[in-house]
């Protein structure tokens, strides 16, 4: 695949990016956060009622945020929710910023079923980077932001603002649907043990599948970076 349109112009003026060793420094916290999130998912039936703050420390998905919002005071909810949602974003931003098109091709390879969607996001990102980061600051978008050369200050300001608005909307949603949410929490409490067993089994299956596919897949990115560096180092043909 040719260079992504959102990074091609920036790559022409970019200096030589850090090598795969720098990537490993980014990989360690990313893998740790993935593991923490998956463990939180597995233990959610146990934690959602007894330790709601611990649950969103581990996994701050919209589902978990909605379920626990009415169990937490505003300060705990916003402080922990914001920190947890933002932890991985700078790491993916740096991967995109330093490794450009190799990082985007790696991301598309890791999510083959979403490949077409990711390419559409690339096109939209070239036209509306800041609104997209504000509305959907997920790992793909943060990587695109870095690859497109978005300023660090602009990225953090937009990312933090979007995250706070997301948390605010979830909080309001939790207040509006407090009774149905309480019913769901009651069901989880009543069937906590079987739900926990099913959740842990799913976690084990997903973990085995992930390990067989190469873990976080960062080895593939390191290989792509090395291939890109080798290509860049080749003298132009005449």
Domain ranges for the chain, please list them.
18-220
Confidence of residue 6 (pLDDT cuts 50, 70, 90): low
Structure confidence by residue, pLDDT tens digits, 8-46: 445 444 545 676 677 778 888 988 998 899 999 999 999
Closest to 149 measured CA to CA, from 30, 4, 26: 4
Higher pLDDT among residues 118 and 69, named by residue? 69
CA-CA distance, 93 to 122, in Å (whole number)?
14
Work out the angle between the directed axes of helices 20-50 and 89-110 (0-180°, nearest 10): 100
CA-CA distance, 102 to 189, in Å (whole number)?
46
pTM reported for the whole predicted model: 0.81
Confidence of residue 237 (pLDDT cuts 50, 70, 90): very low
Closest to 173 measured CA to CA, from 51, 63, 48, 44: 63
Looking at residue 218, its pLDDT comes to: 58
**Mean of the per-residue pLDDT values for the chain?**
82
Geometric angle at alpha carbon 135, from 131 and 138, rounded to 5°:
115
Looking at residue 109, its pLDDT comes to: 67
Answer left, alpha or beta for residue 100, where phi above 0 means left and psi between -120 and 50 means alpha.
Answer: left
Do residues 141 and 133 lie in contact, with contact meaning Cβ atoms separated by under 8 Å?
Answer: yes
Confidence of residue 2 (pLDDT cuts 50, 70, 90): very low
Confidence of residue 224 (pLDDT cuts 50, 70, 90): low
Confidence of residue 106 (pLDDT cuts 50, 70, 90): confident
pLDDT at 232 over 60: no
Looking at residue 61, its pLDDT comes to: 94
Higher pLDDT among residues 106 and 50, named by residue? 50
Higher pLDDT among residues 233 and 110, named by residue? 110
Structure confidence by residue, pLDDT tens digits, 124-161: 777 888 999 999 888 888 988 888 888 999 999 999 99
CA-CA distance, 104 to 56, in Å (whole number)?
29
pLDDT > 90 in the chain, percent: 50
Closest to 221 measured CA to CA, from 90, 97, 104, 91: 104
């Amino acid at each position: 695949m040719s260079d992504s349109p959102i990074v091609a112009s920036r790559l022409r003026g970019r200096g030589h990016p850090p090598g795969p060793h720098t990537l490993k420094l980014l990989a360690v916290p990313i893998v740790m956060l993935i593991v923490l999130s998956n463990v939180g998912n597995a233990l959610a039936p146990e934690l959602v009622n007894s330790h709601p703050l611990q649950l969103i420390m581990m996994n701050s998905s919209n589902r978990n945020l909605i379920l626990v919002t009415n169990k937490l005071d505003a300060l705990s909810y916003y402080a922990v929710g914001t920190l947890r949602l933002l932890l991985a974003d700078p790491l993916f931003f740096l991967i995109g910023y330093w490794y450009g098109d190799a990082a985007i091709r790696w991301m598309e390879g890791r999510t083959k079923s979403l490949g077409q969607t990711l390419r559409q996001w690339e096109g939209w990102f070239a036209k509306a980077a800041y609104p997209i980061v504000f509305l959907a600051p997920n790992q793909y978008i943060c990587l695109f932001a870095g690859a497109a050369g978005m300023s660090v200050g602009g990225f953090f300001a937009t990312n933090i603002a979007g995250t706070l608005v997301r948390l605010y909307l979830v909080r309001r949603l939790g207040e509006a649907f407090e009774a149905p949410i309480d019913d769901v929490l009651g069901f989880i409490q009543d069937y906590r043990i079987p739900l926990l067993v099913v959740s842990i089994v799913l976690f084990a299956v997903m973990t085995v599948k992930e390990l067989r596919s190469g873990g976080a897949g960062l080895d593939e990115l390191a290989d792509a970076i090395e291939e890109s560096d080798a290509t860049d180092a080749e003298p132009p043909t005449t």
